[in-house]
Amino acid sequence: MTQNHTMREIAFREALREAMSEEMRRDPNVFLMGEEVAEYNGAYKVSQGMLDEFGAKRVIDTPIAELGFAGIGVGAAANGLRPIIEFMTFNFSLVAIDQVINSAAKMMSMSGGQYSVPIVFRGPTGNAGMLSSQHSQNFENWFANTPGLKVVVPSNPYDAKGLLKSSIRDNDPVIFMESELMYGNKGEVPEEEYLIPLGKAHVKKEGKDLTIVSFGKMLCDNPQTGGVVMPAVAELEKQGISVEVIDLRTVRPIDYETVINSVKKTNRLVIVEESWPLASISSEIAYNVQRFAFDYLDAPIRRVNSMDLPLPYAPTLIEAILPSTKRIIEASNSVLYR
């Protein structure tokens, strides 16, 4: 946490709004574009009041045409502007994925460094309750698998603001993934300006017996909005197990150094990720830990992911498929041979 700052408690959506508004005041090249971001004040009220302050040339409502407005954003970024493109959900980004993967991510290398694409694609990721398969997917690992992109997944309002400001200032395209369930979550955020560097994990809690690595909604402090890691940690602590918790913050680049240093201390690792297990962020972390810290491991690495299925509509099935506090506790006890 930033030192010597005046703290106040605000909602996740307010932290995002402050980040965008501060950067738009600072730099006239920054603008926001997406469905319902202007007249409706944002589908999730993240951009509330921004149209009144910045006007219709900088807070721009679009048709339901992700491919079109993502492409406009990429072209604007290549010509010196700094767009923030809001997807109502990253499930809809699939309509625009050609612009993200084949244009934004590759423009710098294909132009031999002549063009940079300083653009932020942001919006909700993951499940948000009973919305069924097409509106409940996690694509963090998809985008993180693309050279040229940076991928940010904050877990709290403080990180959301500091990371979004850094993302807007970054000269590379950034995928900034939020959670629909977390927009109302409150947390302490400084009144003064601050930035959080991309690519640096946060040791959320220190411990000595076990490392748990996660990111995004899984690590939020509110179990009612998807936070499953910290309740599991609290239960494990009651059992006398000292848990170190690492919040990745960004999943491209991944801060392997912080993870590996923690495993060298605790000798055990559990990775919690909302996405499906195959070719996931947790797979990549597990590979790198066994590659660079194999001799320090006292047990096989365990992963807690969603089941390898499309997310159903029924709440009982959702509960069975998603990572849960119970499954995290079971995985933790497994690596401790308890």
Residue 73 has phi, psi (to 5 degrees) of -65, -45
Are the C-beta atoms of residues 73 and 80 closer than 8 Å to each other? no
- In sequence order, the 6+-apart residues with CB closer than 8 A to the CB of 214 are 229, 245, 246, 247, 248, 271, 272, 273
- Give the span between the Cα atoms of 72 and 93, in whole angstroms: 14
Instruction: For 209-258, write each residue's pLDDT tens digit.
Output: 999 999 999 999 999 999 999 999 999 999 999 999 999 999 999 999 99
Mark whether 5 is an active-site residue: no
pLDDT the model gives residue 2: 47
Are the C-beta atoms of residues 328 and 245 closer than 8 Å to each other? no
The mean per-residue pLDDT over the stretch 59-65 comes to: 97
Q: Shortest CA distance to 78 belongs to which of 173, 149, 167, 151? A: 173
Question: 3 falls in which pLDDT band (50, 70, 90)?
Answer: low
- Give the span between the Cα atoms of 60 and 77, in whole angstroms: 15
Are the C-beta atoms of residues 56 and 38 closer than 8 Å to each other? yes
Q: Which of 14, 23, 35, 135 is catalytic?
A: 135
Averaged confidence pLDDT in the chain: 96
pLDDT the model gives residue 40: 97
Residue 5 has pLDDT above 90, yes or no: no
Instruction: For 149-177, write each residue's pLDDT tens digit.
Output: 999 999 999 999 999 999 999 999 999 99
Q: What percent of the chain has pLDDT over 90?
A: 96
- What residue has token string 């159903």? 312
pLDDT the model gives residue 285: 98
Instruction: Write the single-letter amino acid at 323.
Output: P
Handedness of CA 119, 253, 125, 107 (dihedral sign): positive
- In sequence order, the 6+-apart residues with CB closer than 8 A to the CB of 261 are none
Residue 99 has pLDDT above 60, yes or no: yes
- Give the span between the Cα atoms of 338 and 66, in whole angstroms: 49
Are the C-beta atoms of residues 284 and 305 closer than 8 Å to each other? no
Mark whether 66 is an active-site residue: yes
Question: 98 falls in which pLDDT band (50, 70, 90)?
Answer: very high
Task: Rounding to the nearest 10 degrees, give the CA dihedral for residues 132, 135, 137, 143.
Answer: 170
Residue 41 has pLDDT above 80, yes or no: yes
pLDDT the model gives residue 9: 97
Instruction: For 269-278, write each residue's pLDDT tens digit.
Output: 999 999 999 9
Q: Shortest CA distance to 35 belongs to which of 142, 163, 104, 124? A: 124
Instruction: For 300-333, write each residue's pLDDT tens digit.
Output: 999 999 999 999 999 999 999 999 999 999 999 9
- Give the span between the Cα atoms of 52 and 149, in whole angstroms: 32
Residue 135 has pLDDT above 60, yes or no: yes
Q: Which of 14, 18, 23, 66 is catalytic?
A: 66
pLDDT the model gives residue 4: 74
Q: What number of residues does the chain have? A: 338
Residue 130 has pLDDT above 70, yes or no: yes
Instruction: Write the single-letter amino acid at 169.
Output: R
